[in-house]
């Protein structure tokens, strides 16, 4: 791809004295190697500051994550904070994960905030994202940020922004911050000279306060006491989870936690995995191998910033299997509500939250226990928004989404793998106390509430053309929605971009009641649900599938699971998504 004049002008700007020698050298090397496609992708646009912040491949360029794109974003956020809280001492908290350049990026952000007269609380070393959310509320900060790219491949990093309630920014602040960031046209507008007197270290004291709140989530400490030697294998996948997850488990009373030592050291190169994503079996393999040797009861794995958790258990045949995000969210909801009821802790004000692409069994569980369930768009900022709107009126118990994120209690306002690990271990202990494995508990859960099976396909479309292809796919689905899928009529079309739900049998329309989001859902005659959604953080378009299947007894589970899987494959083949 030949470089356009606009891209060449941008490259020339980045080769001026406003940028450092390391940046110059990286660009010159790409030029010398005639890497025009790579240069084009690095400079064809500015790295977008979206509603959650920045995320991108690290390197030189306006479309890359580096000290300059980070600096301009931080300066824009600083300007907005100064406008929003005039005459106040403004405080921000900053954390970072184990990725390459994360400590440096965190220091750069801290320096820019301080240079703008803002008080900074900077974690002394890597910490989980949920602790950052907790710190904002605990320290009375107006904002906060964490340097992380979650479970993206090692080439990525990011900058996630939070507001004073500890949640990721929402309207109107998200758009207002974006406007201020876009108003920074030059790196000369960025105040890089730090004021060290305004930067304060965070460490063990805040860890203790956070862990104390995690411990308070425990519902059945007696079961843990009886099953304290439950065999747990834990891997942080070279991330921040190692700082708090083992402590949280020990604090609840678990005495037999085995760490995957080869993955215990934080390392941004993630040397033992292709991708540090606990959704993928290959990332979990070392933990699974260790669990087999130890004949463990439960495997836990957290992603680099410890906001997502994946689990594995033994099935009825003694084979280790991964429990997917929908199943884990359902199990947690089932445990939280049934254990609270058994402990006489339920109140009429209790509620749970789950997203529109998460299994509807969560709603069925809530109805079974007479608990209110709310649905939101994808993203924990929307779950946090409901908590914020209902604060003082209703009591948030827990919530989650299919992408391995869960939030229990409201002292953190984002997904939290540390507290989720603690409650998942307690749930496994409670099941074992009743003579059941966690897998058997899951089968019993589906017998009680109804059996759902879900599946996800992610189509990666990289670069400028890839982004265009994703938009074209969504436009085609809107312009020509399928009338039937896998031989079943589509009876309802939900377009969350327009905010309309259309019953195709009656042609009647109703409102979604949610803010606009680029998501389409097709509901089939038998209740199956297919959702199409471009990712907000990765160059992907995601298709979610959910089907129901009759289940009459535990011995029928394998067959029901097989039939449901075949139904999903028929849908995928008919939509030509393979």
Cα dist from 121 to 93, 113, 169, 414, whole Å: 5, 10, 19, 19
Closest to 467 in 3D by CA, of 514, 518, 425: 518
pLDDT at 109: 98
β-strand pairing of 484-485 with 119-123: unpaired
300 near 417, Cβ under 8 Å? no
d(Cα 570, Cα 526) in Å, to the nearest integer? 14
Pick the catalytic residue: 150, 419, 517, 531? Answer: 150
SS (H, E, C) 185-249: CCHHHCCCCCCHHHEEEECHHHHHHHHHHHHHCCCCHHHHHHCCCCCEEEECCCCHHHHCHHHHH
Angle at 232 between CA 334 and CA 218, to 5 degrees: 45
Same-domain status, 168 and 235: no
pLDDT at 152: 87
d(Cα 267, Cα 274) in Å, to the nearest integer? 13
Same-domain status, 423 and 483: no
What's the pLDDT tens digit per position in 513-525?
999 999 999 999 9
d(Cα 248, Cα 372) in Å, to the nearest integer? 29
Question: In 276-396, which ranges are continuous DSSP H helix?
Answer: 281-294, 325-342, 361-368, 380-390
> What contacts 47, CB < 8 A, 6 or more positions away?
54, 56, 62, 63, 64, 65, 69
Q: Scan for tokens 């001492």, then name that residue.
A: 89
What CATH number should be reported for the domain holding residue 484?
A: 3.30.310
SS (H, E, C) 403-471: CCEEEECCCCCCCCHHHHHHHHHHHHHHHHHCCCCHHHHHHHHHHHHCEEEEEEEEEECCHHHHHHHHH
Same-domain status, 72 and 157: yes
Sign (positive or negative) of CA dihedral 96, 102, 103, 107: negative
517 near 534, Cβ under 8 Å? no
pLDDT at 52: 80
Phi, psi of 533 (to 5 degrees): -150, 120
> What contacts 428, CB < 8 A, 6 or more positions away?
230, 232, 297, 298, 313, 438
Sign (positive or negative) of CA dihedral 568, 573, 574, 576: positive
Same-domain status, 283 and 165: no
CB half-sphere exposure, 316, CA atoms < 13 A: 10
**Helix orientation angle between 325-342 and 417-433, rounded to the nearest 10 degrees:** 60
d(Cα 346, Cα 324) in Å, to the nearest integer? 27
Closest to 505 in 3D by CA, of 528, 483, 527, 485: 483
> Peptide bond preceding 466: is omega within 30 degrees of 0, i.e. cis?
no
Sign (positive or negative) of CA dihedral 249, 250, 251, 253: positive
What are 343's two structure tokens? Answer: 């402990």
Same-domain status, 230 and 213: yes
Same-domain status, 7 and 146: no
pLDDT at 299: 98
What's the pLDDT tens digit per position in 80-117?
999 999 999 999 999 999 999 999 999 999 999 999 99
Give Cα 144 to chain centroid, integer Å. 17
The H or E element spanning position 529 is: strand 529-534
d(Cα 122, Cα 140) in Å, to the nearest integer? 14
The residue segments making up the domain with residue 394 are 209-449
Same-domain status, 186 and 152: yes
Domain end point (choices 449, 473, 491):
449
What CATH number should be reported for the domain holding residue 109?
A: 3.40.120.10
3-state helix, strand and coil shares in percent for the chain, rounded to the nearest 5:
40, 20, 35
pLDDT at 66: 97
Same-domain status, 490 and 401: no
Domain end point (choices 406, 425, 449):
449
Is 517 catalytic? The answer is no
Cα dist from 259 to 12, 193, 298, whole Å: 49, 41, 12
Closest to 53 in 3D by CA, of 137, 179, 169: 169
What's the pLDDT tens digit per position in 331-379?
999 999 999 999 999 999 999 999 999 999 999 999 999 999 999 999 8
Residue spans of the chain under pLDDT 70: 1, 536-538, 578
Same-domain status, 482 and 444: no
Phi, psi of 561 (to 5 degrees): -65, -40
d(Cα 401, Cα 403) in Å, to the nearest integer? 6
Residue 381: CB atoms within 10 Å: 23
Structurally, the chain folds into a number of domains equal to 4
d(Cα 12, Cα 153) in Å, to the nearest integer? 29
Same-domain status, 412 and 517: no
> DSSP labels for 7-55?
HHHHHHHHTSTTS-HHHHHHHHHHHHTT-HHHHHHHHSSPPP--SSEEE
pLDDT at 1: 58
pLDDT at 565: 97
Residue 212: CB atoms within 10 Å: 11
Same-domain status, 53 and 196: yes
What's the pLDDT tens digit per position in 390-449?
999 999 999 999 999 999 999 999 999 999 999 999 999 999 999 999 999 999 999 999
Domain end point (choices 449, 471, 502):
449
Phi, psi of 408 (to 5 degrees): -115, 125
Same-domain status, 277 and 399: yes
- Give the chain's end-to-end CA distance (angstroms, integer): 29
């Amino acid at each position: 791809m030949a470089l356009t004049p606009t891209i060449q002008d941008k490259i020339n700007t980045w080769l001026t004295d406003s940028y450092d020698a390391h940046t110059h050298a990286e660009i010159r090397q790409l030029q010398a190697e005639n890497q025009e496609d790579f240069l084009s992708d690095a400079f064809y646009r500015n790295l977008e500051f979206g509603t959650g912040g920045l995320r991108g491949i690290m390197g030189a360029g306006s479309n890359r994550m580096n000290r300059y794109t980070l600096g301009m974003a931080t300066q824009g956020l600083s300007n907005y904070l100064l406008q929003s809280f005039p005459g106040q001492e403004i405080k921000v908290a900053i954390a970072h994960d184990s990725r390459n350049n994360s400590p440096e990026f965190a220091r750069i952000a801290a320096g820019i905030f301080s240079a703008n007269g803002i008080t900074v609380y900077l974690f002394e070393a890597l910490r989980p994202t949920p602790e950052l959310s907790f710190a904002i509320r605990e320290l009375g900060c107006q904002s906060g940020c964490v340097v992380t790219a979650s479970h993206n491949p090692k080439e990525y990093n990011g900058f996630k922004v939070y507001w004073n309630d500890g949640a990721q920014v929402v309207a109107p602040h998200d758009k207002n911050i974006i406007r201020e960031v876009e108003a920074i046209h030059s790196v000369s507008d960025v105040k890089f000279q730090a004021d060290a007197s305004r930067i304060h270290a965070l460490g063990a004291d805040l860890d203790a306060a956070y862990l104390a709140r995690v411990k308070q989530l425990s519902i059945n400490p007696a079961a843990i006491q009886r099953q304290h030697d439950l065999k747990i294998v834990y891997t942080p996948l070279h991330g921040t989870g190692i700082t708090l997850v083992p402590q949280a488990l020990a604090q609840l009373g678990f005495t037999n936690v085995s760490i995957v030592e080869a993955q215990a050291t934080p390392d941004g190169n993630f040397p033992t995995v292709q991708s540090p994503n606990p959704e993928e079996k290959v990332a979990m393999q070392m933990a699974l191998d260790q669990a087999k040797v130890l004949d463990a009861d439960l495997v836990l794995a957290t992603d680099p910033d410890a906001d997502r958790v994946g689990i594995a258990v033994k099935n009825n045949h003694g084979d280790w299997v991964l429990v997917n995000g929908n199943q884990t969210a359902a199990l947690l909801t089932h445990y939280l509500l049934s254990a609270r009821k058994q402990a006489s802790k339920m109140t009429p004000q209790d509620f749970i939250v789950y997203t529109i692409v998460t299994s509807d069994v969560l709603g069925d569980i809530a109805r079974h226990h007479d608990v209110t369930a709310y649905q939101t768009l994808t993203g924990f900022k929307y779950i946090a928004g409901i908590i914020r709107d209902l604060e003082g009126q209703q009591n948030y118990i827990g919530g989650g989404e299919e992408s391995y994120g869960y939030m229990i209690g409201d002292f953190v306002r984002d997904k939290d793998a540390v507290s989720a690990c603690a409650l998942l271990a307690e749930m496994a202990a409670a099941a074992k106390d009743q003579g059941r494995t966690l897998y058997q508990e899951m089968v019993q859960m589906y017998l009680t509430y109804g059996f759902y099976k879900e599946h996800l396909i992610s189509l990666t479309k990289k670069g400028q053309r890839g982004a265009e292809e994703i938009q074209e796919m969504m436009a085609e689905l809107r312009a020509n929605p399928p009338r039937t899928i896998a031989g079943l009529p589509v009876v309802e079309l939900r377009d969350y971009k327009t905010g309309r739900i259309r019953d195709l049998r009656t042609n009647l329309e109703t409102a979604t009641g949610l803010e606009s989001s680029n998501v389409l859902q097709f509901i089939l005659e038998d209740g199956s649900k297919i959702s199409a959604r471009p990712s907000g953080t990765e160059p992907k378009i995601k298709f979610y599938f959910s089907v129901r299947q009759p289940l009459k007894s535990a011995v029928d589970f394998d067959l029901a699971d097989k039939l449901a899987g075949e139904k999903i494959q028929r849908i995928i083949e008919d939509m030509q998504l393979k």
